[in-house]
Amino acid sequence: MGMVRTALFNWAFARNTGGTFVFRIEDTDSARDSEDSYEALLGALRWLGLTWDEGPEVGGPYGPYRQSQRLELYADVAKRLIDGGFAYPCYCSAQELEAQREAAKQHNRAPGYEGTCRELTTAQIDAFVAEGRLPVIRFRMPDRDHTWDDLVRGPITFGAEHVPDFVLVRANGEPLYTLVNPVDDASMRITHVLRGEDLLSSTPRQLALYEALAAIGVSDGTIPAFGHLPYVMGEGNKKLSKRDPESSLQMYRDNGFLPEALLNYLALLGWSMGDDQEFFSLDQMAQAFSLERVSANPARFDLKKCTAINGDWIRALPVEELTQRLLPLLQSDGLIGVPVSPEHRAVLAEAVPLIQERMDTLVQAPAMLGFLLVDQENFTVDQAEAAAVLGAAAAPALQSAFDALTAISQWTTEAIEGALRESLIEGLGLKPKLAFGPIRVAITGRRISPPLFESMEILGRDVSLERLRLALSFN
């Protein structure tokens, strides 16, 4: 979800300023990245509606946009950086690097690489090679502070002692984020980068690398403007982690959240529309978006509020559109067929408005609508509900309801409600909860359902009376 929030802010900034939103796939880690993860990324942005101007499937003047397809470029740049004196091979082992870290701790120095391999002689290199050591490639950080005007946080300075030489290429030849992103920014003419606060410490490294790329002719010297977005916090004042259940985009898709609602809520995590407006569309956000309204303070993810905004979006949808979004869920549960029959379409046209005000997520719909869609022979009453409500004490109410409904001439909501109120409340003297509770369970199979009288009109006289008759058999 944090990644989606970052993509959303970049998208909105590009749309607001008339810029170009670039979608780039960072898949140079062969141990982690796969074709499945690539397809999942594309599918996520498509589902959310965050269309990109350059990137996979769309193309653009600076492709390819998958970093795994640009490895020759990175290898060439790494060689040119070494040749230009901006980078060097480092043969330090993991044990030696750990010893450096421990020594820095003991002497209260800032941890980091100490430049051991900066000025190796040919003889030293030959000795390391003879040992079978494979080098990483490190960037030679200039000995000076780095300052930039962050788009979100204002002026920021990192002292030279806090930014040691860093690795560009692993010993196995795989390029790292620290190399590939600045190279791609330069070659793709990126002007603005909005990213998470966790990458703040990468910025001074990248600023130095941009200067080196200009010196070796890889870029024209343009350095992107950076804005670092606030953390999204989870439970216990901790940063929302990928391992937290509420962090998974797939969880929201599986649980019937609308993409519009998710983006609406994520926009509120660190940005404000102004005037206390919390319900808005993507287009409205793009029109209003400005970096001045992005806060530098951490934002807390509140699943209850996210769910409430999702409910607001469900209620704002036209009934026909909501119905279309519910069809896959109802079909997956076997409640309707493919294609949808005219009979089921007619039921949904009447029933969806009844549940629209009661839903917070789409996955609630099958349980709410199932009793209206199943054939009578497949209708069941939940056993726990039956035991709680349809006992011997309910028999008088069920029988009185059956008799009253059998006698009415017109099967309408008004006639059904009138008959039941007269027979159960006036006739038997029952309070509404005790009067209608058994009827609701008999008709819907549940104690919580869409409005009872309207549901009975949709079901029709014969089915409703049959279900009351079935409920009487529980006694």
* Euclidean distance between CA atoms 213 and 190, whole angstroms: 14
pLDDT at position 274, please?
A: 84
Half-sphere exposure of residue 185, counting CA atoms within 13 Å on the CB side?
A: 24
Mean pLDDT of 426-454: 92
Q: Is-contact 301 234, C-beta < 8 A?
A: yes
Residue 149's CB: how many other CB atoms inside 10 A? Answer: 11
CA–CA dist 60, 424 (Å, integer): 71
Query: Where residue 475 falls among pLDDT bands split at 50, 70, 90?
Result: low
Paired residues of 300 in beta bridges? 233
- DSSP H or E run through 154: strand 154-158
pLDDT tens for 159-181 read 999 999 999 999 999 999 999 99
| pLDDT score of 384 | 79
Q: What is the mean pLDDT of residues 222-244?
A: 84
Give the per-residue pLDDT at 237. Answer: 72
More confident residue, 240 or 15: 15
Taking residues 124-139, report their average pLDDT: 96
**Comparing 104 with 366, which gets the higher pLDDT?**
366
Reported as a single tens digit per residue, the pLDDT across 22-72 is 999 988 877 676 788 888 889 999 999 999 999 999 999 999 999 999 999
Q: What is the CA radius of gyration of the chain?
A: 32
Residue 2 in this model has a pLDDT that exceeds 90: no
Is 105 among the residues known to form the active site?
no
Share of the chain above pLDDT 70, in %: 99
Over residues 142-148, mean pLDDT: 96
In this prediction, residue 227 has a pLDDT band, given cuts at 50, 70 and 90, of very high
Contact predicate 285/267, CB 8 Å: yes
Look at residue 246 and tell me whether its pLDDT is greater than 80. Answer: no
Closest CA to 167 of 180, 157, 176, 156: 176
- Among residues of the chain, what percentage have pLDDT more than 90? 80
What average pLDDT does range 247-260 have in this prediction?
Answer: 92
Q: pLDDT grade, residue 108 (50/70/90)?
A: confident
386 pLDDT tier (thresholds 50, 70, 90) = confident
Does 243 score more than 80 pLDDT?
no
Question: Residue 154: which region, alpha, beta or left (left: phi > 0; alpha: psi -120 to 50)?
Answer: left
Instruction: Return the closest-CA partner of residue 23 out of 266, 33, 3, 177.
Output: 3
Which of 79, 238, 242, 304 is the catalytic position? 242
Q: Is the pLDDT of residue 232 over 80?
A: yes
Least confident of 97-106, 122-131, 205-214, 346-355: 97-106
pLDDT band at 308 (very low <50, low <70, confident <90, very high): very high
More confident residue, 444 or 385: 444
Walk me through the domains of the chain, giving residue ranges and CATH numbers.
1-56+230-316 (3.40.50.620), 70-229 (3.40.50.620), 318-374 (1.10.8), 383-472 (1.10.10.350)
Residue 385 confidence (pLDDT) above 80:
no
User: Is the whole-model pTM more than 0.85?
Assistant: yes
Distances (CA, A) of 304 to 137, 300, 348, 361, 411: 47, 12, 28, 12, 40
| pLDDT for the residue 106 | 86
**Of 386 and 329, which is predicted with more confidence?**
329
| C-beta neighbour count of 474 within 10 angstroms | 19
| Strand pairing report for 232-233 and 225-229 | unpaired
Asked whether the beta carbons of 392 and 471 are under 8 A apart, the reply is no
